[in-house]
Amino acid sequence: MEHRGVTVWLTGLSGAGKTTITKALEEKLNAQGCKLEVLDGDIVRQNLTKGLGFSKEDRDTNIRRIGFVAHLLTRNGVIVLVSAISPYREIREEVKQRIGDFVEVYVNAPLNVCEDRDV
């Protein structure tokens, strides 16, 4: 049975719980035999976007690259779980338009909790 691809894009402040939620989703979907990949913003920065800083331009480039990979996977029937801060709505909208099958989830947590969790 062929599965339809979709990108689930979790965004929110650092320490909000994006990665924790992504890992829980990954576990549940793997248990159901779904074809999926996780694109974690921290891991992508260490590999695919190494050398980029945190200026708006660099952040936009980072999100576009994650979006490009997510698009390729999604169109090939993969469920893609993205966990990335992605603070700028216009870039998320650009990526959403490119991917098509896209669900954005804003992970909300109180600022003091995010600060305590931030590593």
Catalytic residue (one of 14, 55, 83, 86): 86
- Residues 6 or more apart whose CB falls under 8 angstroms from that of 97 comprise none
End-to-end Cα, the chain, rounded Å:
41
| Alpha helices, H only, the chain | 18-31, 41-47, 56-75, 89-99, 111-117
83 as an active site residue: the answer is no
Count of Cβ atoms closer than 10 Å to residue 91 Cβ:
18
Q: What amino acid positions are annotated as catalytic residues?
A: 86
